[in-house]
Amino acid sequence: MKKHGRVWAEIDLDAIEFNYQEMKKKLGGGQKMIAVVKTDGYGHGAVPIARFLEPLDDIWGFAVAAVEEAQELRRHGITKPILILGYTFREDYRWLAREEIRPAVFKYDMAAQMSEAALAEGKKFFIHMAVDTGMARIGLPDTEEGAEEAARITALPGIEIEGLFTHFARADEADKSHAKIQFSRYIHFLELLKEKGVEIPLRHCSNSAAILEMPGLTADLVRPGITGYGIYPSEEVSRESLPLRPAMSLKSHIVYIKDVEAGTPVSYGGTYVTEQKMRIATIPVGYGDGYPRSLSNKGWVLIHGKKAPILGRVCMDQFMVDVTGIPEAKELDEAVLMGESEGSVLDVDILGKLSGRFPYEFVCNIGKRVPRVYIRDGKFRENP
């Protein structure tokens, strides 16, 4: 890593390992985990994270949202099962069968087309059926008709039903009644399938929030997403239920410091005007990097462990902060945009509130031009 980078995200692999170990302890049973690495591993880097997690015995495989994400993992040598949680298109079915990618299936006509692809490739098509129990998104209806459709899917040549899953819509709320209803509907659907002679080898429902606060749900697999990266699913889940360590820090450097007089407008539109003499530092990061423009005049960074408030609008590639109260600040000093600095912490929950963004959204939006550097055993690693 360059000594003075414009901006970079540090990804702590030790923190990710800790988070998965804590989730394993929380679950207690023999459930394995599907590590969710969609949206480039929630902005942390899907390929490096998958490479790091793949050797772990507790990792059954990985989940992504789109074919392109599965292709990237296979292209970089990931061999464990990959589940696509979202919709897949017919033109990709032969590749999916060839690479043994597990698609989510929730319509008979999808499965029939996959059957054709499997026979053309001379492969079995391993699929996971999705059932809608209360999300109103994708999934077979959790009804007698839905079970009949699932049974028809099972009978297709070349199709191997490997799993059945649903997704909780409100498990991250303090009131778990909706999630419990969803789980009971899922169990009922399994019973309907059993009556029709359909056996499901792998059952999975639990997302991050359910792992934290509903660990007793009976299933074969769980799907940790945001918790693997050390972020809690919502403010309503108990932090005491599971200790997590944030994996991502976002850092930059001061590139310029100037003294300005009272009455000086700062940045586009002059939305901030100095009321006294001030010392202003420029940080070479902006909304072009995924750093929210909505932090204009309300966010701050940490320099030598002290708050440096943002002055004026965040530009595409730069923004300015007040270092009047940090006399030791100098050009090329580190600025922490998210993370820890000399005992002070600026976490994604704070940044989410200030910017009007969901914490998931904040880390996912850190842009491609922000290099990710990986830390293992306290040391930077070039190829995690």
Residue 241 — φ and ψ, nearest 5°? -70, -25
* Catalytically annotated residue among 25, 256, 258, 268: 268
- Residues in CB range of 23: below 8 A, 6 or more apart: 33, 211, 222, 224, 227, 228, 242
Give the residues across from 252 on adjacent strands: 7, 335
Contact 251, 7 (CB under 8 A): yes
- The answer to whether residue 268 is catalytic is yes
State the DSSP code for 139.
S
* Catalytically annotated residue among 24, 38, 176, 251: 38
State the DSSP code for 57.
T
Contact 246, 345 (CB under 8 A): no
State the DSSP string of 274-328.
Answer: -SS-EEEEEES--GGGT--GGGTTT-EEEETTEEEEEES---SS-EEEE-TT-TT
Helices (H), the chain: 13-27, 38-42, 46-53, 67-75, 93-98, 108-121, 144-154, 177-195, 208-213, 348-355, 359-364
| Strand 256-260 versus strand 202-204 pairing type | unpaired
CA distances from 171 to 2, 214, 223 (A): 42, 8, 13
For residue 374, the one-letter residue type is Y
- The answer to whether residue 196 is catalytic is no
- Residues in CB range of 21: below 8 A, 6 or more apart: none
SS3 335: strand
Positive/negative CA dihedral, 351, 41, 208, 140: positive
How far apart are the C-alpha atoms of 209 and 201, rounded to whole Å? 24
Catalytic residue numbers? Answer: 38, 268
